[in-house]
């Protein structure tokens, strides 16, 4: 679909929307009814990356389309008691809890969706978010609702086991549109999962507008004066490669003795429940054994946007040492680019896509020496660092939350206005073999997808 078609559709949509009532009522959508979108996701105050993403997305959609009803079906572990009271994060109007481990809770959530006047479900998918084997309880919810689903995938595995593949195939078959946050994920979905690429939309991870803070002033506020600062931030958990970055520090310190590596973020709640702070303590011990304890600083708390902005402003090189080659999105890397930071990253899929084209430097997996060389290359070459910073900032701004929120809002409107030609039955067998879901199984349900072209920077 070309841009003239998009603009024509936008004009028709605007013509169908009523003005606010004199009493300040909400603008209506379609035939006298307001568009209502329900997010199925983890949600604040639960602290995880997808919860933050969903709240930010809701806020962005609300800012782009103020006259819209938003709800959140919040996935909460039974062991984590969360007290939610309005006003809710992200400008959400209603919150309905789902107890992750309780299968009946998913049925109650489906009833809430079916009877609540909702038009579209936006389901955030990550296997670990949902209960059951590999998060299969999400299918129990989808089998009990006829509402159109926009599924946002936060993980697309290149080597899934059969259970993981079956879950994602059925999830996609029951979704009107599948959203991924990187182009590389489209090819994986088509080749390994048999999902028609025409049903997949690329919308990037949103990024905030960080205030402009002088790096010297930011370092002064944080007590980092005179020190080159490396940063990795996010909820702390094994599998993020922090060990590789710490092992790279002795070589960096040899050339730049005052270097400081900041590891910011509290321990992930799930890790904290299972093993306490043992992982963080192992990193502290590793730094001491390598003789770089004075070159590592842990910031053990959840960072708000303002504090994160100051920390990023003080950063000379943002380090992403992730060891998982298949990772197809990273919110923290997206934020670093939006802050205009020079990046050194391992070449996981998302990094190759957003950093590789001249916006940062890539190092080898599991090779501290490679990471150290690339970091030193930037610390030794301020001109190169400034060039990468300017490129990163320009690209990061193309993923701003206001752009992303507008794209999602238009997608939700299109899905609500273009019902499928057929509706899946509410019940299916407990397990659907992948072979029963051919590649183009749902192409007839969706029809032409005008949102296929949505890409970062457009």
With contact defined as beta carbons under 8 Å apart, do 102 and 141 qualify? no
pLDDT at 422: 53
pLDDT along the chain (458 residues), means of 10: 37 35 38 84 92 96 95 93 89 95 96 96 96 96 96 95 97 97 94 95 95 95 97 92 97 98 92 90 97 97 92 98 92 96 96 91 97 98 97 94 97 91 49 32 37 39
- Asked if residue 77 belongs to a domain, the reply is yes
With contact defined as beta carbons under 8 Å apart, do 130 and 100 qualify? yes
- pTM for the model: 0.83
Kindly state whether residues 42 and 132 are assigned to the same domain: yes
Kindly state whether residues 63 and 92 are assigned to the same domain: yes
Give the tens place of pLDDT for each residue, 316-332: 999 999 999 988 899 99
- Asked if residue 453 belongs to a domain, the reply is no
Domain span including residue 329:
215-397
- Asked if residue 38 belongs to a domain, the reply is yes
Distance CA 297, CA 236 (A): 13
- Asked if residue 386 belongs to a domain, the reply is yes
pLDDT at 239: 86
- Asked if residue 60 belongs to a domain, the reply is yes
Domains identified in the chain, total number:
2
Distance CA 244, CA 249 (A): 9
Q: Is beta strand 317-320 parallel, antiparallel or unpaired with respect to 260-264?
A: unpaired
Distance CA 127, CA 45 (A): 20
| Residue-wise burial string across 157-195, b where 16 or more C-beta atoms lie within 10 A, e elsewhere | bbebeebbbbbbbbbbbbbbbbbbbbbbbbebbbebbbb
Kindly state whether residues 219 and 195 are assigned to the same domain: no
Kindly state whether residues 281 and 428 are assigned to the same domain: no
Kindly state whether residues 113 and 227 are assigned to the same domain: no
Kindly state whether residues 132 and 9 are assigned to the same domain: yes
Kindly state whether residues 241 and 312 are assigned to the same domain: yes
Distance CA 257, CA 2 (A): 55
Q: Which of 372, 397, 422 is the last residue in one of the domains?
A: 397
Distance CA 279, CA 271 (A): 8
Kindly state whether residues 144 and 221 are assigned to the same domain: no
Q: Is beta strand 177-180 parallel, antiparallel or unpaired with respect to 149-153?
A: parallel
Q: Is beta strand 317-320 parallel, antiparallel or unpaired with respect to 343-345?
A: parallel
Kindly state whether residues 118 and 134 are assigned to the same domain: yes
- Asked if residue 455 belongs to a domain, the reply is no
Kindly state whether residues 79 and 154 are assigned to the same domain: yes
CATH number assigned to the domain comprising residue 236 = 3.40.50.2000
Kindly state whether residues 56 and 90 are assigned to the same domain: yes
Kindly state whether residues 7 and 78 are assigned to the same domain: yes
């Amino acid at each position: 679909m070309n841009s003239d078609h998009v603009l024509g559709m936008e004009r028709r949509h605007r013509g169908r929307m009523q003005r606010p009532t004199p009493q300040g009522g909400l603008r209506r959508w379609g035939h006298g009814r307001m568009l209502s979108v329900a997010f199925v996701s983890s949600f604040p105050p639960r602290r995880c990356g997808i919860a933050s993403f969903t709240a930010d997305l809701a806020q962005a959609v609300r800012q782009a389309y103020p006259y819209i009803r938003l709800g959140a079906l919040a996935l909460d572990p039974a062991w984590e008691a969360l007290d939610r009271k309005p006003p809710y994060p992200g400008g959400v109007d209603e919150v309905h809890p789902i107890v992750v481990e309780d299968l009946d809770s998913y049925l109650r959530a489906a009833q809430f969706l079916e009877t609540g006047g909702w038009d579209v479900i936006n389901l955030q998918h990550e296997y670990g978010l949902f209960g059951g084997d590999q998060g299969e309880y999400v299918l129990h919810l989808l089998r009990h609702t006829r509402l159109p689903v926009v599924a946002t995938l936060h993980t697309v595995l290149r080597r899934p086991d059969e259970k993981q593949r079956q879950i994602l195939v059925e999830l996609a078959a029951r979704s009107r549109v599948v959203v991924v946050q990187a182009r590389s994920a489209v090819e994986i979905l088509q080749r390994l999962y048999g999902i028609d690429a025409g049903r997949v939309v690329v919308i990037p991870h949103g990024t905030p507008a960080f205030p402009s803070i002088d790096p010297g002033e930011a370092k002064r506020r944080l007590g980092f004066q005179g020190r080159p600062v490396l940063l990795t931030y996010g909820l702390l958990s094994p599998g993020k490669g922090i060990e590789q970055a710490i092992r790279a520090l002795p070589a960096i310190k040899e050339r730049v003795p005052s270097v400081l590596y900041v590891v910011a973020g509290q321990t992930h709640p799930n890790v904290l429940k299972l093993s306490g702070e043992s992982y963080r303590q192992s990193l502290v011990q590793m730094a001491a054994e390598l003789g770089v304890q004075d070159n590592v600083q842990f910031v053990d708390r959840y960072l708000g946007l303002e504090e994160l902005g100051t920390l990023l402003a003080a950063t000379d090189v943002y380090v992403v040492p992730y060891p998982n080659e298949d990772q197809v999105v990273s919110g923290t890397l997206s934020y670093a680019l939006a802050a205009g930071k020079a990046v050194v990253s391992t070449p996981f899929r998302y990094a190759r896509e957003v950093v590789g084209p001249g916006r940062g430097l890539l190092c080898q997996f599991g090779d501290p020496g490679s990471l150290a060389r690339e970091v030193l290359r930037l610390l030794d070459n301020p001109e190169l660092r400034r060039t990468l910073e300017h490129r990163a900032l320009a690209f990061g701004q193309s993923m701003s939350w206001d752009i992303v929120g507008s794209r999602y809002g238009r997608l939700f409107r299109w899905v609500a206005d273009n019902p499928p030609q057929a509706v899946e039955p509410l019940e299916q067998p407990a397990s659907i073999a992948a072979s029963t879901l051919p590649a183009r199984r749902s192409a007839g349900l969706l029809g032409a997808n005008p949102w296929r072209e949505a890409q970062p920077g457009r």
